[in-house]
Structure 1
Amino acid sequence: MKQNFTVRQSALDGVEAFLAVAQHRNFRRAAAELGVTPSAVSQAVRTLEARIGAALFARTTRSVGLTEAGERFLSRAKPAFEELVAASEAARDLGQRPAGMLRLAVPRSVVPLILEPVIAAFCQAYPEIEVEIAASEEMVDLAAGGFDAGIRLGQLIAPDMIAVRLTQPFPFMVVGSPDYMRGRKRPAAIDDLRQHACLRLRRANGSIAPWPFVDGNKSVEAIVSGPLIAHDYATLLGAAIRGVGLAQVPAPLARAPIADGRLQALLAPFAVMGPGVFLYYPGKRQVLPKLRAFIEHVRYRGADAAQGAATARGARKLRRANSR
């Protein structure tokens, strides 16, 4: 048997009409303010009175006054309705301009790579946006955690998310400190890692990640062993710098310690390319101005960095050509 379903009337139905009549003590003036007919206002008030179970207005042919029930209802309903209107305007404001709290779920290793170079400039450019960064290696549920977006390596992002590229693809490099390599044979092939202490990463699902490589056209996953397991690349990098063992980390993370001599790059011909770092958010969610502003800011900074790198490469090529 088919059931009958009815939509429950809202407790707010007729309240705006009541407040307008209570203010003007006149149904026609209340109707003009609301942009409806006097009969529509009268019907809304009658429906409200029926739902409450008490007359709110004392009506005569010449005047409209509040009953005792109407006075009590007005004293509570007016501030509550004004607060609701203010809440609606505040929410609408966030939908129209970059403002409010921007919450990002970010792995620790990405903070120095992506956020530190841009966050100060972003905060200066958008002073009405507060940025909260939750640094964790856990794959969080953005909606359940109240996050606007997350930042992750591309291969870790679910396919139903909208992904925005923040970096170009980069290799995963094996690195070791000069102190660690002193007295040890430099690995020349993937199998040589069996003779080395390798620092490993535990994934968010609890498994220990193998080290991925490419050997010609073939993908290889090496099962390595060593004295340390960590949950993030930043910890692995720090341990490698201190000579605990070899680590495989994203190349941008290792760039500075390689440049200043604290680390050496190893097995470069076998390095696998990762897709890069992406910002992601649920595909069905409307992009609020605060998030759109952050995306455009990061993209703009990334374009500037890429152009700067290209200019530097061109200058180096020109110097080499002139030196010949």
Structure 2
Amino acid sequence: MQEIRKSAKEKMKGYCRVCPVCNGKACAGEVPGMGGLGTGSAFVANMEALDAMRFNMKLVHNVKEPVTETEFLGLSLSMPLMAAPIGGVSFNMGGGVSEEDYIDAIVSGCKAKGLIGCTGDGVPPVIHEAGYAAIKKAGGHGIGFIKPWEEKEFFEKLEKAEATGASVFGVDIDAAGLVTLAKMGRPVTPMTVDDLSKVIKSTSMKFILKGVMTVHDALCAKEAGADAIVVSNHGGRVLDSTPGTAEVLPEIAEAVGGEMTILVDGGIRSGGDILKMLALGAHGVMIGRPFSIAAVGGLQQGVETYIETLHTQLVQAMVLTGTDNVNRVESGILR
């Protein structure tokens, strides 16, 4: 990982410093770029909320080989993790690798390690085109996310998503305030329950709504018929001064966790962080920026190496907290 991060730092110069700890402080306000919007407090809040959770170590037990495999949305995963949808290598990451090579590394690397890579969407057509091509190449093994565009463009992209062979797609409704899209003359907007219901009923694919930060929106997603939600503030890139995702996750999980799949992103940097989010009520997590660094720095091998690192850390955290299975993580492992 040291060599991969060194390579990424050279290729992402001026866009991402590849800090020893990716906490949003050095890149505050750098949008476009990899930072958080405005003061960057929402990005930092994700980190601080998760860091505030401490593990209770537990070593008198017989957990030696914990189970990390899980299944949700009809997908079998080697651990409860997906690569979050991120696109725009040229204007967010320095263009050190092509959009096609980048997203292929994400999707193929995840598939090779028994995980799912998600693909992004944006104004340059190459973002969604490269993403869908990578998913199709992987035999439908990926999840494409579509931004909440106007109806005509949205449903055209949904048809393209269906053509990849994927069984799941998502909408990152938290992109509704992206400054970068507005500056390009292509603003995206919020969606109503009826809007979401229309989308869900128009396809046989399972549906994920990304960008849920309140119980209200979680209940709306449930009402619309969503199969899953992602508790997310878009990495702190759309609204300053939001709470960290780890702060709001427990109340959202309590409200709808028994009726739909709950995923979460924001500030997750290690296998221990994955376990923390599971203890707070998530069924799985998404990781964004660190996957981008791994892909830019080492392409598919970089992605696979990062996944191996996370798996080792997750197993270690499970053993040291007496957790035998990722599908039954107790909240009591956190202090």
Same fold (TM over 0.5): no
TM-score (normalizing by structure 1): 0.28
- Identify, as 1 or 2, the structure richer in strand: 1
* TM-score (norm. length: structure 2): 0.27
Q: Which has the higher contact order (CA 8 A, sep 6+)?
A: 2
